[in-house]
Amino acid sequence: MDARKPAVGGQTYLGVPLVDRLVLVVGLPVLVVVLGFALPPLARWALSWEVGLPMGFLFRLFAGIDRPWEIAVNTGIWLAVAAGVALTTMTESLKLTLLDTELRVEKGEEKRTIPRADIAAVFLDGKKVVVLDHGSRQLVRDTHEAAQATIADAFRGHGYPWRDTDPYADLYRAWHLGTTDLPPAVHDLFAIRESALRKKAHKEVGELRAAIEKLGYAVRDEGTQQHWRPLVRS
């Protein structure tokens, strides 16, 4: 299930949704096995057309896999890759545990606990769960694959201040190189962060977000376009 309903005074866990787990644990390995057996004859069939094929060396590579042991090894390699993808996805996905008194956040090796009293607002920005403190700082801003209604019901059920929309959405402005609306130090951090966004350097992007927030500004991304607003005390 996407979430476990709390008993009185209990907790609610929001992890990887059931459908996603089934795809990763069952669907992906089945697809890999099918491809392991199907790719060699398909590659030989494609090569029989005697026409130029893009990345033809890959077709020739797969076409040469015809002995049973080669097929078994090829399938085993792809199964190992699939297992790695599934494990990484399950480990790196955002997991939330809600109690009436605190929110526990887990992603990869990072684990944090946020007291309920420190949380001023919770809402969704697309697929991202956003948790704000009383200074409108983003304590959490990360993707969760559970259904919106599931996430909203879980937070409401534990008495968190759920919002249907971002209460500070109207304050955001698009950042552009050369803007004079920000202090030079903040502007420079945005410029560096834009480069990190384009490179998909996720760790650096997160660290720069935190640095900008320490200087008094919140950040929201739409693709590689950054938006900013001043922090607001609630």
Nearest-angstrom CA–CA distance, 75 and 221: 40
Examine the pLDDT at 86 and tell me if it is beyond 70: no
For the record, the structure tokens of 170 come out as: 């109207």
Q: What is the pLDDT of residues 108-145, one digit of tens each?
A: 889 999 999 999 999 999 999 999 999 999 999 999 98
Q: Where are the beta strands (DSSP E) in 116-189?
A: 121-125, 128-132, 138-143, 173-174
**Mean pLDDT confidence for 172-200:** 95
The Cα-based distances of 15 to 12, 95, 105, 121, 201 in angstroms read 10, 5, 10, 21, 25
Examine the pLDDT at 56 and tell me if it is beyond 70: no
Q: Where are the beta strands (DSSP E) in 31-185?
A: 95-99, 102-107, 110-115, 121-125, 128-132, 138-143, 173-174
Q: Which helix (H) or strand (E) holds 16?
A: none
Mean pLDDT of the chain: 85
Under 8 Å between Cβ of 36 and 75: yes
136: left (phi over 0), alpha (psi -120 to 50) or beta: left
Examine the pLDDT at 1 and tell me if it is beyond 60: no
Nearest-angstrom CA–CA distance, 93 and 74: 29
